[in-house]
């Protein structure tokens, strides 16, 4: 994509901006995996949805389904109205992770993977011998062909190449499916002027309104400002970062750190009462605690959150934890927190009818320089020894479930009551490790 550069009066001298990033975005990923696994679905409109009623939503739509206006988040009933022949297939998250791992391994055959951005997005930094336009384009085509040949013909991808990762991501979105777009320094920033502000990561409806109040209604107006003035309109620290990125400057990445570990679950209509929701919350807490141990973290806060059938805003409450990774401590605090949810439900006209429930472990910190407990050899009934024994039992449960499968051993009560099947699911921006399918 090359056009004559439109000068920006306020543009300062900028450093050299060679092509530095290749961003690969797999097209309609979940649906494409299903079409690869099920040949009868190829070339047909398909949506992937959780197992449940028609009130669930599509978590992915095939390229063919998108032509009917179906997209992620479209309710199943609406998708069936938009396309009478649409096929609904249940999600198989473990298979999507397996395909993801195979695709990342294939990309590594051609270039090191710098960052896995999501289940269907990968960013690679180009070296000096890879960053002229012809070499970068040839590399992108080899990667795309390698995925189709070695992983599956249904797995197409769109690739963006640009001086920084933000622009490479924007370029990858411009041609779908199976696209390849290059932004060179001479294309910037005017090649972006046709895009909406909200197409830039980090600009949602709230930020769009803030920029509009400052007289910025599109990317051209933002880029026409001096960096400092653009940063003032953006607000916050480092507000001018976006200005430099839109002009192609490859700024150092900001360090990020995991701060929470949690899981949520949309309840089926038959399991939205008090006891099924409580048992589901316990199962989610056990899953979160197991993942916390595997990551080598402790948590100091437990958050229980939920959404009632007639309320979109949601409910949440929290309780302090001793710095722990022990499942039994987490469950005890959850049991102390659950009466607050009951009280909130009792005050509602609809009573205890939950649509979603979730458990999050927050204020997490890595376990570093851990020492054995001073209380490990006390009598089993001694309260000081309880957490030592609880953590040892929690870790033993992890090992058993890893070897024999999820729920080979769990924590009660096992006194009846219906509970949904809870497995690992892929959230935007987080890819479950295969170990999570045993938890």
Read off the pLDDT of each residue in 284-303 and give the average, rounded to a whole number. 89
Indicate the pLDDT class of residue 421, thresholds 50, 70 and 90. Answer: low
Contact 88, 75 (CB under 8 A): no
- As a whole number of angstroms, the distance between CA 388 and CA 382 comes to 11
Full DSSP string of 9-63: TT----------EEEEEETTHHHHHHHHH-GGGTTS-EEEE-SS-TTSB-SEE-H
* pLDDT at residue 325 greater than cutoff 90: no
41-45, 262-266, 304-308, 414-418, range with greatest mean pLDDT? 41-45
- As a whole number of angstroms, the distance between CA 222 and CA 231 comes to 9
| More confident of the two residues 127 and 68 | 68
Mean pLDDT (the chain, rounded): 83
Read off the pLDDT of each residue in 296-324 and give the average, rounded to a whole number. 88
pLDDT for 414: 43
pLDDT for 410: 64
Distances (CA, A) of 321 to 28, 205, 367: 41, 36, 15
| More confident of the two residues 83 and 270 | 83
User: What CATH number belongs to 1-16+188-256?
Assistant: 1.10.150
State pTM to two decimals.
0.68
Give per-residue pLDDT as tens, 383-407: 554 555 555 666 666 666 666 565 6
Full DSSP string of 194-224: TS-GGGSTT--HHHHHHHHHTT--SHHHHHT
Q: Which one, of 82, 89, 86, lies nearest residue 68 by Cα?
A: 82
Q: Which one, of 358, 362, 360, 383, lies nearest residue 373 by Cα?
A: 383
Give per-residue pLDDT as tens, 223-249: 999 888 888 888 766 778 899 999 999
Contact 151, 105 (CB under 8 A): no
pLDDT for 390: 59
For 227, the 3-state DSSP assignment is helix
H-helix or E-strand spanning residue 265: strand 260-266
Neighbours of 401 (CB within 10 A): 19
Degrees, nearest 5: CA angle 366-359-400: 65
Contact 21, 125 (CB under 8 A): yes
Degrees, nearest 5: CA angle 371-372-373: 115
Helix 29-37 with 93-108: angle, nearest 10 deg: 100
Q: Which one, of 123, 61, 126, lies nearest residue 89 by Cα?
A: 61
Give per-residue pLDDT as tens, 332-386: 999 999 999 999 988 888 778 888 899 999 988 887 644 444 444 445 555 554 5
The tokens describing 160, both together, are: 């963006």
Same fold, 1-16+188-256 and 260-438: no
Give per-residue pLDDT as tens, 32-44: 999 999 999 999 9
Residue 245 C-beta-side C-alpha neighbours within 13 Å: 21
Q: Which one, of 115, 214, 102, lies nearest residue 151 by Cα?
A: 102
Domain 260-438: which CATH number of 3.40.50.720, 3.30.70.1110, 1.10.3720.10, 3.30.1490.100: 3.30.1490.100
pLDDT for 202: 80
Q: Which one, of 78, 229, 238, 287, lies nearest residue 221 by Cα?
A: 229
- As a whole number of angstroms, the distance between CA 426 and CA 405 comes to 19
Read off the pLDDT of each residue in 196-216 and give the average, rounded to a whole number. 90
* pLDDT at residue 212 greater than cutoff 80: yes
Read off the pLDDT of each residue in 135-150 and give the average, rounded to a whole number. 96
8 Cβ partners below 8 Å, 6+ apart?
Answer: 189, 223, 224
At 157, give phi and psi (nearest 5°).
-145, 155
- As a whole number of angstroms, the distance between CA 164 and CA 351 comes to 51
411 Cβ partners below 8 Å, 6+ apart?
Answer: 282, 286, 327, 328, 331, 397
Read off the pLDDT of each residue in 276-282 and give the average, rounded to a whole number. 91
Q: Which one, of 365, 345, 367, 348, lies nearest residue 357 by Cα?
A: 345
pLDDT for 185: 92
pLDDT for 112: 93
Domain boundaries, the chain: 1-16+188-256, 18-187, 260-438
- As a whole number of angstroms, the distance between CA 314 and CA 309 comes to 10
The tokens describing 87, both together, are: 């096929």
Q: Could you name the CATH architecture of 18-187?
A: 2-Layer Sandwich (3.30)
Q: Which one, of 19, 20, 25, 18, lies nearest residue 144 by Cα?
A: 25
pLDDT for 240: 87
Residue 121 C-beta-side C-alpha neighbours within 13 Å: 16
For 396, the 3-state DSSP assignment is helix
Read off the pLDDT of each residue in 87-92 and give the average, rounded to a whole number. 92
pLDDT for 64: 97
Q: Which one, of 180, 189, 84, 113, lies nearest residue 431 by Cα?
A: 113
pLDDT for 422: 53
């Amino acid at each position: 994509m090359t056009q004559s550069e439109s000068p920006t009066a306020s543009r300062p001298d900028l450093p050299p901006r060679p092509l530095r990033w290749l961003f690969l975005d797999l097209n309609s990923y979940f649906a494409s995996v299903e079409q690869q696994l099920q040949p009868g679905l190829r070339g047909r409109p398909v949506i992937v949805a959780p197992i449940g009623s028609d009130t669930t939503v599509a978590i992915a739509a095939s390229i063919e389904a998108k032509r009917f206006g179906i997209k992620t988040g479209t309710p199943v009933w609406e998708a069936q109205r938009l396309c009478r022949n649409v096929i609904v297939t249940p999600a198989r998250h473990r298979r999507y992770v397996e395909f993801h791992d195979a695709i990342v391994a294939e990309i590594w055959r051609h270039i090191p993977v710098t960052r896995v951005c999501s289940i269907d997005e990968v960013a690679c930094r180009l070296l000096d011998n890879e960053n002229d336009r012809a070499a970068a384009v040839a590399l992108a085509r080899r990667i795309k062909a390698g995925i189709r040949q070695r992983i599956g013909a249904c797995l197409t991808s769109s690739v963006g190449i640009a001086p920084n990762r933000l622009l490479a991501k924007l370029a990858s979105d411009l041609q779908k499916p199976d696209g390849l777009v290059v932004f060179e320094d001479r294309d910037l920033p005017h090649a972006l002027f046709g895009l909406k502000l909200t197409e830039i990561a980090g600009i949602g409806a709230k930020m769009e309104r803030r920029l509009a109040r400052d007289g910025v209604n599109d990317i051209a107006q933002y880029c026409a400002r001096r960096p400092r003035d653009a940063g003032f309109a953006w607000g916050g620290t480092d507000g001018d970062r976006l200005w430099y990125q839109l002009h192609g400057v490859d700024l150092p990445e900001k360090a990020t750190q995991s701060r929470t570990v949690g899981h949520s679950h949309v309840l089926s209509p038959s399991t939205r009462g008090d006891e099924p929701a409580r048992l589901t919350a316990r199962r989610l807490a056990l899953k979160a605690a197991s993942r916390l141990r595997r990551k080598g973290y402790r948590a100091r806060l437990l958050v229980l959150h939920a959404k009632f059938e007639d309320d979109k805003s949601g409910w949440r409450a929290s309780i302090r934890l001793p710095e722990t990774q022990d499942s039994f401590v987490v469950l005890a605090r959850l049991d102390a927190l659950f009466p607050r949810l009951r009280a909130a439900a009792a005050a509602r006209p609809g009573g205890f009818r939950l649509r979603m429930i979730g458990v999050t472990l927050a204020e997490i910190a890595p376990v570093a320089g851990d020492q054995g407990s001073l209380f490990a050899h006390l009598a089993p009934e001694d309260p000081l020894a309880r957490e030592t024994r609880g953590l040892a039992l929690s870790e033993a449960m992890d090992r058993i479930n890893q070897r024999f499968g999820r729920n080979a051993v769990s924590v009660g009560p096992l006194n009846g009551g219906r509970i949904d099947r809870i497995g690992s699911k892929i959230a935007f921006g987080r890819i479950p490790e295969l170990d999570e399918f045993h938890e």
